[in-house]
Chains A and B, each alone.
Chain A
Amino acid sequence: MIVAEQKTLDEIKSLLGDARKVLILGCGTCVTVCFSGGEREAAVLASSLRMASQLDGHPRDVTDLTVQRQCEWEYLDTATDRIKDADLVLSIGCGVGVQAIAERFPNAWVVPGLNTKFMGLPTEQGVWTERCAACGDCVLGVTGGVCPIARCSKSLLNGPCGGSEGGHCEINPDVPCGWQLIYDRMEKLGKLEMLMDLQPPKNWQKSRDGGPRKIVREDLRLPHEE
């Protein structure tokens, strides 16, 4: 899932400017599951902002609404009236959601209430960790299902640097060394031999470095879209 966390209330307030009618728009997908931008968070944030605006002496009309998915226009369309009616839309979807709103509603002023952090999973109650960096050219097949791009701080492809110690990365004892994880798994599976292969420089063109990415599936396109 896409994992995000809420910006501080102060930063959110600073993004609101002099908007009086504020719509907080939640999203029912990833950010609901990671407790940062779902229905509940939208309601709590709305009440916090209402209270804050009273205290600041600039009362705002803050309401909230949550759509099933901000990243698809047809779901956003269910909120058209509310979006158009607001002075400002505070999206607490991920960065995709914020941009989907901006694209779908050219006249709406939309600001983000979350910082989109990474693609990952909950590893224990209340803890999420990164797993995929969307490099566009998956190498998990040669690294035992542990990603060196996302989980090695230096995205190394040929094994651990000298900063690996006691299973953790040199940057922080709380960060597991991605290559130690790879090594342990390959050892367990009897596939250490695979780590002896020299991995050539990666084609980063398939990643963000090649510019904004796009996938076109001709088999799925409708004739009128050509």
Chain B
Amino acid sequence: MSLGATGTPETKPALLAGSNLEKVLRAGHFAVTAELGPPQSADHTAIRNKARYLRDCCDGVNLTDNQTAIVRMSSIASGAILVQEGLDPIIQMVCRDRNRLAMQSDLMGAYALGIRNVLCLTGDHQTFGNHPTAKNVFDIDSIQLVGMVAAMRDRRVFQCGEAMKGQEPRFFVGAAASPFAAPVAFRPYRLGKKVRAGANFIQTQLVYDLEAFETFMETVRKLGVHEQAYILVGVGPLKSPGMAKYMKESVPGILVPDQLIARMNKAGAQWAGKKAEELSKEEKKARSEAWKAEGIKICIELIQKVRAVKGVAGVHIMAIEWEEAVRPIVDGAGLLPRPKMAEAS
């Protein structure tokens, strides 16, 4: 194992960043992270309210960075609010909106605000979002971003090669993997590149198809990538059969087996055969609750199954605009209480 970049065989390697997430993973616990979408407003209470749902049921919280290219409160500002709330933020940083100057300056600022984890992402193309006429940046790509964040920490240099004089930003560096996006055969190798560039942990795109995920992990293990970075599998509760079908058909890199869609349909079978306008408000609510309960149940089962896959170090729960689902999922998967790590590293 070479999980700590600075370790020697005799001593336990020092923590890279000292984040709660890093400590949990280094201690060998099966980690749980969750996602929090910042608001489309300047309202800090939106973050604090969502944080309540996630407190004590995960080890780190991802703050999305203008996800799907829709403008939201910045991930760093949201992360700083989470620091105030006593949660461990994982700020997402996409390459779409900032060049290397802005990114490095934001990384230093984020560290100064107490943030210790960053997830380096390419970023959805701006044509998806609410500013499709914007100019994109993509000065560097996600792998180069991983390398830049790691070099700022390990070599104390800026991307240009200039030495940093004062405190360097020390982040636990994350990257994403999309196991089922095309070309599928290249995905484990691209993940390998991210780890070679310096990624310490990986969060995957949503996994619903265990068989396909096993195939991906086989190659990942063959490459030894799971021994150089902690792999957290992306899971998420389905809200409705419609959402499952939409993800299957329209979101690149997400495989939803028909059997899961059938389960979601079955959960709402009592109301099937009726058009939406024929259902009363109460019936609609009851149907939605039945779907959600099944979605949470499926998610719990998925966690239990991926936990058994060799090389998996944790799960990343993406309950998009449904943060209250995280606690029952973590609880149902038998992952509560979350480990309490010592303050000092």
Contact = CB atoms under 8 A, between A and B. Distances in A.
B193 A159 contact: yes
Given A164-B182, A183-B183, A183-B186, A154 B95 contact: yes
Contact of A160 (B136, B144, B190, B192): B190
Which of under 10, 10 to 19, 20 to 34, or 35 or more describes the interface residues of B?
A: 35 or more
Contact of B144 (A158, A177, A179): A158
B38 interface: no
A162 B183 contact: no
Contacts of B136: 154
B100 A158 contact: no
A99 B182 CA distance: 43
A207 B92 CA distance: 28
A68 interface: no
Contact of A154 (B122, B205, B252): B122
Interface in B154-181: 159, 176, 178, 181
Question: In terms of DSSP, what is the predominant structure of the interface of chain A?
Answer: loop
B152 to A, nearest CB: 13
B289 interface: no
Given A156-B138, A198-B197, A201-B139, A162 B181 contact: yes
Contact of B147 (A163, A192, A198): A198
A161 interface: yes
Interface stretch (A9-17, A111-119, A123-131, A165-173): A165-173
B189 A195 contact: yes
A163 B182 CA distance: 8
Contacts of A196: 189, 192-193
Contacts of B96: 154
Interface residues of A, number: 33
B155 to A, nearest CB: 14
A153 interface: yes
A53 interface: no
A162 B140 contact: no
B159 A201 contact: yes
Interface string A177-218: 101100110000000100110111110100000000000000
Nearest to B205: A162
A162 B189 contact: no
Nearest to B159: A201
A156 B123 CA distance: 11
Nearest to B250: A165
A67 interface: no
Interface string B183-224: 100100110110011000000010000000000000000000
B58 to A, nearest CB: 23
A158 B143 contact: yes
Contacts of B140: 201-202
B56 interface: no
Contacts of A183: 183, 186
Contact of B193 (A158, A169, A177): A158
A119 to B, nearest CB: 19
A72 to B, nearest CB: 31
A157 interface: yes
Contact of A201 (B100, B123, B178, B186): B100
Contact of B182 (A157, A158, A167): A167
B127 interface: yes
A179 B100 CA distance: 23
Contacts of A177: 182
Nearest to B140: A201
B66 to A, nearest CB: 15
Given A201-B100, A201-B159, A161 B122 contact: yes
Nearest to A179: B183
Interface in B123-138: 123-125, 127-128, 136, 138
B183 to A, nearest CB: 5
22 contacts: A154-B122, A158-B142, A158-B190, A159-B143, A160-B182, A160-B183, A161-B178, A161-B181, A162-B253, A163-B125, A163-B252, A163-B253, A164-B182, A165-B182, A165-B252, A166-B182, A169-B125, A171-B127, A172-B127, A184-B183, A195-B189, A198-B196
List of 4 A-B pairs having minimum Cβ-Cβ separation, nearest first: A162-B178, A165-B252, A158-B143, A161-B122
Given A153-B125, A164-B252, 10 more contacts: A154-B96, A159-B190, A160-B182, A162-B205, A163-B181, A164-B182, A165-B253, A196-B193, A200-B144, A201-B159
Interface of A: 153-167, 169-172, 177, 179-180, 183-184, 192, 195-196, 198-202, 204
